[in-house]
A and B are shown apart, each in its own frame.
Chain A
Amino acid sequence: MFGIKKEEREADTYLKLSGKVILLYLAIVLFCILVIAPLVIVFSSSLRHVANQSSPLLLFREFTVESYITAFKNMNYPMELLNSLITTGGSVLVVVVIATMAAYPIGRIKSKLARFLYVFFISGLVIPSQMVIVPVAQTFSRLRIPNTRFTPMLMFITCSLPFSVFLFTGFMKGIPVEIEEAAYIDGSSIFRRYSVIVFPLLKPAIISTVITQGLWIWNDYFYPMVFISKKAQYSLPVGMLQFLGDKENPAQWNVLFAACVLCALPLIIIFLLLQKQFVNGIAAGAVKG
């Protein structure tokens, strides 16, 4: 709502229409159409009858939820949605707590050890999942960790640590040490200082972490694919794998596209509701960190 009001106030300061500006508009509109075109076609096809095989370029000639009903049933949608919500929510929660805790000494103590730990955590960023997956699976079996819907969470948390610690340490430097020194004199313990002073002041970085890490965790299919074998434990993206054979079969496209929309829908809704926090969170993560 605020966004719209601001746009209105700016209305008188838009660039004056000249030849150059019209070209700019044309370029932007064309570019956006190019980017969005596949998504529009996918959406339009998903609203067709399952058997409709006319060219997908004939947009929005038919409106039915038949394909959605078929996809919904094939996907076991409510269960998958629930699994996605649990794993993403749980992982993000744990990451926020333990990464802020880790960043506290790293950001505050001035020593070679703290500096080393900082680099140590960040270097985890460059290691790809595919590389460590087999040793990790063995570690799990040695520790007798069973394959449940919660198993991928352990990896989601671990993979999110490097970026989160990096971000929180960066933000920690912006929080004045004087506040904590005052609290120290007043007799607060370290734990109290962390939970009452530092944690609340890290709020912008926490929002940024929730969004950037939540986004990849929600969309990740690799860890669930490796660690989960029971269909009832699938999350939304890994549930999409069952459609892998349909992608080259035009007769299945309408259902496949409906499934794609269903899979992306929760995130689209959250994005449209929290657009501002989303954009700021992503930018803050990269610029201030």
Chain B
Amino acid sequence: MKKSKNISLVFNNKMYLFLIPSMLFFLILWVYPVLQLFYYSFTNFNGINYNYDFVGLKNYVKIFENGTLVNSVGNTLIYTVIVVVFSNVLGLAVAMALNAKIFLKGFFRTCAYFPALFSAIVVGFIWSYVYMPGSGMIANLIEVFGGQGSAFNPLGNFHTALFAIAIVEIWKSFGTTMIIYLAGLQTVDESLLEAGRIDGCSEWQVMRFIKLPLISSTVTINVILNVIAGLKAFDYSFIMTNGGPGKSTKTLMFQIYEIAFTDQKMGRASAFSVVSFIVIIAITAIMLFVMNKREVEL
């Protein structure tokens, strides 16, 4: 009779039947494909012809040897860090400014959130124009102020391209981050801030030592959502730079897509996916651990 201790009459195990439809989708189209990746990573499968051979660890050796893996992991991490830091700093700063009692704040909030509505492909087109050397928006502005507009080419420069597309991602994503911060800030009890001010805290101290700790769970959520989005970076490398110049904007996902579809090397793309999978899981796990610990400390 020990077994029945946890089984409630109201919420009995018959309820698990409710899981069937979503489980079907999830297992067939999400879990099974991921498991297949492990299998294909040991073959020379090309994605079309099923007459493939097992090649052992050759795919893994190849991606480590020719440097594509290290390059794309590096690019993805830089991209993620930039997006997470700036999206959160900007989002929080704007949320704090627009949480104050100011005229037209609803309009300003709409402005700040607006870019989040656009499809990545439209955003990619718009920013391709903004960055265009010679006749793009920034180049034109430089010329208005007497500079050389044709010399400005952030997407064509090996050193700046990755930062340029990271800015695009920040432009699109910080609005959502801001909305989540605004919701977090609105849960802060005004009387606590008042108490701090009476005790002689400066505005900065009120923000750093009262507000920020109170919204630490919002910070965690925002950072996690942004990290996940950053690690999945694909859109702007695909639409704006096609991975170039050189290999400077090839992110993990772009690299996988390229190996699978352009080079038609599904086996190698699978090996790449398996390694990315491990990298992504590791980063997410470490981050969850650190953030949970920090949340308590703050």
CB distance from B177 to the nearest CB of A (A): 9
Q: Is the pair A35, B115 in contact by a Cβ cutoff of 8 Å?
A: yes
Q: List 9 A-B contacts (CB under 8 A).
A: A15-B101, A39-B114, A42-B126, A57-B137, A127-B277, A135-B36, A136-B29, A215-B117, A271-B117
Nearest chain-A residue to B217 (Cβ)?
A287
Residues of chain B within 8 A (CB-CB) of A146 are none
Q: Is the pair B26, A126 in contact by a Cβ cutoff of 8 Å?
A: no
Q: Is the pair A32, B111 in contact by a Cβ cutoff of 8 Å?
A: yes
A57 and B117 alpha carbons, distance in the complex (Å): 24
Asked if A51 is an interface residue, CB under 8 A from chain B, the answer is no
A275 and B130 alpha carbons, distance in the complex (Å): 28
Q: Is the pair A139, B103 in contact by a Cβ cutoff of 8 Å?
A: no
Asked if B68 is an interface residue, CB under 8 A from chain A, the answer is no
A271 and B273 alpha carbons, distance in the complex (Å): 36
Asked if A244 is an interface residue, CB under 8 A from chain B, the answer is yes
A177 and B254 alpha carbons, distance in the complex (Å): 47
Q: Is the pair A130, B128 in contact by a Cβ cutoff of 8 Å?
A: no
Q: Is the pair B36, A219 in contact by a Cβ cutoff of 8 Å?
A: no
State which size class the interface on A falls in: 35 or more
Q: Report if A3-B106 is in contact (Cβ < 8 Å); known contacts: A13-B101, A244-B239, A263-B119.
A: yes
Scan A27-59; emit 1 where CB is below 8 A from any B CB, else 0: 110011001111101100000000000011100
Q: Taking A98-B21, A136-B33 as given, write out 11 further A-B residue pairs in contact, using a Cβ cutoff of 8 Å, ordered by the A residue number.
A: A25-B102, A31-B94, A39-B115, A56-B140, A131-B256, A132-B33, A136-B29, A247-B240, A260-B122, A260-B126, A267-B117
Chain A contacts with B in 49-92, Cβ cutoff 8 A: 55-57
Nearest chain-B residue to A184 (Cβ)?
B10
The 3 closest A-B pairs by CB, nearest first: A283-B183, A135-B33, A219-B119
Residues of chain A within 8 A (CB-CB) of B8 are 109-110
Residues of chain B within 8 A (CB-CB) of A131 are 34, 37, 253, 256, 273, 276-277
Which residues of B approach A to under 8 Å, CB–CB?
6, 8-16, 18-19, 21-23, 25-26, 28-30, 32-34, 36-37, 40, 47, 94, 97-98, 100-103, 106, 108-115, 117-122, 124-130, 132, 135, 137, 140-141, 144, 171, 176, 179-180, 182-184, 187, 218, 221-222, 225, 228, 231-232, 234, 239-240, 253-254, 256-257, 260, 266, 269-270, 273, 276-277, 280-281, 284
Nearest chain-B residue to A135 (Cβ)?
B33
Q: Is the pair B256, A264 in contact by a Cβ cutoff of 8 Å?
A: no
Q: Is the pair B183, A102 in contact by a Cβ cutoff of 8 Å?
A: no
Q: Is the pair A111, B6 in contact by a Cβ cutoff of 8 Å?
A: yes
Number of A-B residue pairs, CB cutoff 8 Å, is 250
Residues of chain A within 8 A (CB-CB) of B128 are 247-248
Nearest chain-A residue to B109 (Cβ)?
A279
Q: Is the pair A161, B110 in contact by a Cβ cutoff of 8 Å?
A: no
Nearest chain-A residue to B187 (Cβ)?
A287
A3 and B110 alpha carbons, distance in the complex (Å): 13
Q: Is the pair B19, A36 in contact by a Cβ cutoff of 8 Å?
A: no
Q: Is the pair A263, B22 in contact by a Cβ cutoff of 8 Å?
A: no
Q: Which of A110, A155, A165 contacts B22 (CB 8 A)?
A: A165
Residues of chain B within 8 A (CB-CB) of A136 are 29, 33
Asked if A232 is an interface residue, CB under 8 A from chain B, the answer is no
Chain A contacts with B in 98-122, Cβ cutoff 8 A: 98-99, 101-102, 104-106, 108-111, 113, 117, 121
Q: Is the pair B117, A154 in contact by a Cβ cutoff of 8 Å?
A: no
A279 and B106 alpha carbons, distance in the complex (Å): 11
Q: Report if A134-B260 is in contact (Cβ < 8 Å); known contacts: A35-B112, A101-B18.
A: yes
CB distance from A231 to the nearest CB of B (A): 16
A194 and B253 alpha carbons, distance in the complex (Å): 40
Q: Is the pair A125, B30 in contact by a Cβ cutoff of 8 Å?
A: no
A3 and B105 alpha carbons, distance in the complex (Å): 11
Q: Which of A57, A108, A264 contacts B118 (CB 8 A)?
A: A264
A121 and B280 alpha carbons, distance in the complex (Å): 16
CB distance from A38 to the nearest CB of B (A): 5
Chain A contacts with B in 232-289, Cβ cutoff 8 A: 236-237, 240-241, 243-244, 247-248, 250, 253, 256-257, 260, 263-264, 267-268, 271, 275, 279, 282-284, 286-287
A218 and B121 alpha carbons, distance in the complex (Å): 12
Q: Is the pair B122, A286 in contact by a Cβ cutoff of 8 Å?
A: no
Q: Is the pair A158, B25 in contact by a Cβ cutoff of 8 Å?
A: yes
Q: Report if A134-B47 is in contact (Cβ < 8 Å); known contacts: A28-B102, A32-B112, A240-B122.
A: yes
Residues of chain A within 8 A (CB-CB) of B19 are 101-102, 105-106, 117
Residues of chain A within 8 A (CB-CB) of B221 are 286-287
* A28, A32, A131 pick with most chain B CB within 10 angstroms: A131
Residues of chain B within 8 A (CB-CB) of A275 are 110
Q: Which of A106, A111, A287 contacts B180 (CB 8 A)?
A: A287
Q: Report if A121-B11 is in contact (Cβ < 8 Å); known contacts: A38-B137, A131-B273, A194-B18.
A: no
Residues of chain A within 8 A (CB-CB) of B25 are 98, 154, 157-158, 161
CB distance from B7 to the nearest CB of A (A): 8
Residues of chain B within 8 A (CB-CB) of A287 are 180, 183-184, 187, 218, 221
Q: Is the pair B6, A181 in contact by a Cβ cutoff of 8 Å?
A: no
Asked if A174 is an interface residue, CB under 8 A from chain B, the answer is no
Q: Is the pair B114, A35 in contact by a Cβ cutoff of 8 Å?
A: yes
